[in-house]
A and B are shown apart, each in its own frame.
Chain A
């Protein structure tokens, strides 16, 4: 069974940093591109970032480019999202999602709240 378990969310002040992680099991992690997708409270889905299976290529939404960094450790089946310079508008539930062109499996999400 495929499982994606996010962690690392919490309350952070504007300008602060957080590092999200996603532990994958039940899949050949190194064979898939991976995404972070977020959802602000009561709002729609917002794609954030993608990393290729080997980690050689990364892609970002314009809204997070230069502030967020996606990375992966295939030896530990883990995906990360380093978030710096956080803003109130980054407040959202952050999902880890498998697949670059046809995302299929989603985690349960980890909540990030940016507030003073």
Chain B
């Protein structure tokens, strides 16, 4: 199975400051069609997960542009340019290239 490793697991951030989460996969996530199926999800307290980023860097409709995804192959990053109070929650990466699908452990973002 592809192991997805996130860091850090806990991320205290001051409002208005940037934040960055790393996700590393144990195998390349490039699919045979040339796409890289790496997704980022946000789960706010008490809510279902919401997808923010797909194909490593494509932002979903309605997602603020302060969120961005980057990376290729096995190394990926989610960046928040300026953290707002509504960004509190747990962030997960998930690979959609290989079976079985696998998630990272989650990164808990809190306001410092």
Query: Interface residues, chain A, CB within 8 Å of chain B?
Result: 35, 44-47, 50, 59-62, 95, 99-104, 106-109
A104 and B51 contacting across the interface, CB-CB below 8 Å: yes
The 10 closest A-B pairs by CB, nearest first: A101-B96, A102-B54, A47-B101, A106-B48, A101-B37, A44-B106, A45-B103, A59-B99, A104-B51, A61-B100
Using a Cβ cutoff of 8 Å, how many contacts connect chains A and B? 57
Say yes or no: A95-B41 contact (C-beta < 8 A), given A45-B94, A45-B103: no
Q: Chain A residue with minimal CB distance to B103?
A: A45
Of the four ranges (under 10, 10 to 19, 20 to 34, 35 or more), the interface on chain B belongs to 20 to 34
Say yes or no: A108-B97 contact (C-beta < 8 A), given A45-B106, A47-B103, A102-B37: no
B102 to chain A, nearest CB (A): 7
Main secondary structure of the interface of A (DSSP, over half): loop
B96 and A100 contacting across the interface, CB-CB below 8 Å: yes
Residues of B within 8 A of A103 (CB): 39, 51, 94, 96
